[in-house]
């Protein structure tokens, strides 16, 4: 196992499913909160205790609370830059960072402020050899009209944004609610992703593919509840971004050992592993190692997952080739 952990650490990776707001550490929550006069917790220990969650509902509550400390471009830049630095040290070469405009704009934080901070962190990261793209996610519990208005505002920042997605509360908010939003986004040349089949039913995965025409499914852990759908995704080689630690901790998969990701790979889905919210569930490498420790990954599966993280990214062909060559050299040498 230690050999496998060393192998995992040595490989270059792409992180395709990570939320900016999920990168706010308890330390940042307290420090940025104090700086901005948004004192949510008296101490880092109290914030850390509040981060102990075991359901999506509780997680979304603390996620929304933590987001409230972000007010200025500096705050967004600080949280993103800290994550980028940690990711680069963790072997990550390319990040597609999700952020939720609706975690901020309803509080009076301008989209421009959010994007200014993110763009600054993106520039700093590229100086350190890490390529960064952004995915604007819309919250499933909010209405499509608001999302459409925000999408129109995001057009001004089109060069920074590679894709849109949907996330947050799944139950009672099916993907079909956002069909027009995704149509418009595709017309703008944006790629599309969607959280689906995490807490909500497997049918959401089908809607995300058929109605939203997504390039990737985020989570998708409930796909095997409909065997025909799983077969279809396997045959199509659908890209699925899996976040094992979040899925196990929030109880949407029974345990790490029983995680469906190896079955996804065996059936032809192009699955890859990600951190989701590293301040809560650990960095990307920790996710690989946790699954490997649970006996749920072999060396060749690790390599396939890492390769999928690049081939299902939105990187241009020339960069993709470069990363795959590096991966091949590292895997053969390691
Ligand atoms: Zn997520």
pLDDT: is 334 or 26 the higher one?
Answer: 26
pLDDT at 19: 98
- Centroid of ligand 1 to alpha carbon of 300 (angstroms): 26
DSSP state, residue 294: T
Mean per-residue pLDDT over the chain, rounded: 96
Domain hosting residue 15, numbered range: 2-333
pLDDT at 140: 97
Over 70: is that where the pLDDT of 148 sits? yes
Over 90: is that where the pLDDT of 2 sits? no
pLDDT at 1: 63
The Cα–Cα gap between 258 and 244 comes to 10
Over 90: is that where the pLDDT of 247 sits? yes
pLDDT at 55: 94
- Centroid of ligand 1 to alpha carbon of 195 (angstroms): 7
- Centroid of ligand 1 to alpha carbon of 329 (angstroms): 31
- Give the model confidence (pLDDT) of 49-101 as tens digits: 999 999 999 999 999 999 999 999 999 999 999 999 999 999 999 999 999 99
pLDDT at 226: 98
- Centroid of ligand 1 to alpha carbon of 166 (angstroms): 9
In three-state form (DSSP H/G/I as H, E/B as E, the rest C), the secondary structure along 18-77 is EEHHHHCCHHHHHHHHHHHCCCCCCCHHHHHHHCCCCCHHHHHHHHHHHHCCCCCHHHHH
- Centroid of ligand 1 to alpha carbon of 21 (angstroms): 10
For residue 170, what are its two tokens? Answer: 């799944």
pLDDT at 193: 98
The average pLDDT across 1-9 equals 89
The average pLDDT across 318-324 equals 97
Over 70: is that where the pLDDT of 154 sits? yes
pLDDT at 310: 98
- Centroid of ligand 1 to alpha carbon of 178 (angstroms): 17
- Give the model confidence (pLDDT) of 39-50 as tens digits: 899 999 999 999
- Centroid of ligand 1 to alpha carbon of 19 (angstroms): 6
Q: Using 50, 70 and 90 to split pLDDT, how confident is the model at 113?
A: very high
- Centroid of ligand 1 to alpha carbon of 98 (angstroms): 8
pLDDT at 334: 56
Spacing of C-alpha 104 from chain mean position: 18
pLDDT at 93: 98
- Centroid of ligand 1 to alpha carbon of 17 (angstroms): 6
- Centroid of ligand 1 to alpha carbon of 216 (angstroms): 12
Least Cα distance to 182 among 204, 160, 151 occurs for 151
Spacing of C-alpha 159 from chain mean position: 20
- Centroid of ligand 1 to alpha carbon of 277 (angstroms): 7
Least Cα distance to 237 among 205, 203, 266, 211 occurs for 266
- Give the model confidence (pLDDT) of 100-109 as tens digits: 999 999 999 9
Q: Using 50, 70 and 90 to split pLDDT, how confident is the model at 123?
A: very high
CATH code of residue 19: 3.20.20.140
Q: Using 50, 70 and 90 to split pLDDT, how confident is the model at 296?
A: confident
Domain total of the chain: 1
- Centroid of ligand 1 to alpha carbon of 239 (angstroms): 15
* Rg over CA atoms, the chain: 19
- Centroid of ligand 1 to alpha carbon of 32 (angstroms): 23
- Centroid of ligand 1 to alpha carbon of 113 (angstroms): 23
pLDDT at 39: 87
């Amino acid at each position: 196992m230690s050999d496998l952990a060393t192998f995992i650490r040595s490989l270059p990776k792409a992180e395709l499913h990570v939320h900016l707001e999920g990168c706010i550490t308890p330390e940042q929550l307290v420090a940025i909160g104090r700086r901005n006069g948004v004192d949510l917790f008296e101490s880092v220990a109290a914030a850390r205790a509040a981060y102990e969650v075991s359901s999506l509902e509780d997680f979304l509550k603390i996620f929304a609370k933590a987001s409230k400390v972000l007010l200025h471009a500096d705050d967004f830049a600080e949280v993103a830059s800290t994550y980028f630095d940690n990711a680069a040290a963790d072997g990550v070469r390319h990040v597609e960072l999700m952020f939720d405009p609706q975690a901020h704009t309803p509080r009076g934080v301008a989209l421009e402020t959010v994007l200014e901070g993110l763009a600054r962190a993106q520039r700093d990261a590229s100086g350190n050899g890490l390529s960064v793209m952004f995915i604007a996610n819309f919250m499933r519990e909010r209405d499509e009209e608001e999302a459409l208005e925000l999408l129109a505002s995001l057009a001004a920042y089109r060069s920074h944004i590679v894709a849109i997605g949907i996330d947050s509360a799944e139950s009672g908010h099916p993907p079909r609610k956002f069909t027009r939003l995704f149509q418009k986004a595709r017309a703008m040349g944006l790629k599309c992703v969607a959280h689906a089949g995490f807490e909500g039913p497997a049918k959401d995965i089908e809607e995300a593919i058929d109605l939203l025409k997504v390039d990737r499914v985020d989570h998708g852990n409930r796909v095997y509840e409909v065997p025909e759908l799983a077969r279809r995704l396997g045959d199509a080689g659908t890209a699925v971004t899996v976040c094992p630690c979040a899925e196990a901790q929030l109880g949407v998969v029974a345990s790490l050992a029983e995680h469906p990701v190896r079955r996804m790979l065996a059936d032809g889905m192009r699955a890859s592993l990600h951190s989701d919210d590293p301040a809560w569930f650990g960095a990307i490498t920790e996710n690989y190692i946790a699954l490997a420790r649970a006996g749920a990954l072999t060396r060749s599966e690790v390599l396939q997952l890492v390769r999928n993280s690049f081939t299902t990214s939105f990187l241009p062909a020339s960069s993709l080739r470069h990363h795959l060559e590096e991966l091949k050299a590292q895997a053969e040498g390691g």
